[in-house]
Amino acid sequence: MELTQLPAVAKKIYYPCKKCECDRYHVVTAHTSLTAARLECEVCKSKSAFKLEETKRTRMAVPKKPGAVSKSKAKGHIARWTELRDKNDAKPMPYTMKLNFEVGSVVEHPKFGLGFVILTTGQAIQVVFEDGERSLVHNRA
């Protein structure tokens, strides 16, 4: 029997038991990854691992990392930062969370460098830096 996807948790599958040395029904107790599950033999209660055979049909897409940015987005971001830098001739203020910043302010952050405030909300500001856009705290007295 060839499975193309993992069986649901608490479902039974017919699988060889190493302890019983024969095929038995096993209960799926957990999914350990996208292609693997933990099984328990119904007869001897031994635990075993189950992996799907990887084929083109069962291969699942790997999600992108949260911080991963495509090259085209990175180029667009750098162009936006460069445009703001060329347009702004104001002297940058050193960043501290105690100060209140307005849209259009130029900020010098000790770690991220030169940045431009593009949005302010309550106690947060959205700032464009050369390496990315970040949300920072402000107006905390």
pLDDT digits (tens, 9 = 90+) for 31-71: 988 889 999 999 999 999 989 876 544 445 555 555 555 55
Residues 99 and 132 occupy one common structural domain: yes
* Rounded distance between C-alpha atoms, residue 38 and residue 16, angstroms: 13
Sequence-distant (6+) residues with CB within 8 A of 84 are 116, 128
Q: Which domain holds residue 36?
A: 12-51
Listed residue (29, 22, 23) closest to 47, CA to CA: 29
**Domain check: are 80 and 43 in the same one?**
no
Residue 3 in domain: no
- 47 part of a folded domain: yes
Q: Is the pLDDT of residue 140 over 60?
A: yes
User: What local confidence, expressed as pLDDT, does residue 84 receive?
Assistant: 87
Q: Is residue 83 domain-shared with residue 132, that is, in the same domain?
A: yes
Residues 5 and 18: their CA atoms lie apart, in Å, by 22
CATH number of residue 34's parent domain: 2.20.25
pTM over the 0.85 mark: no
pLDDT of residue 78: 83
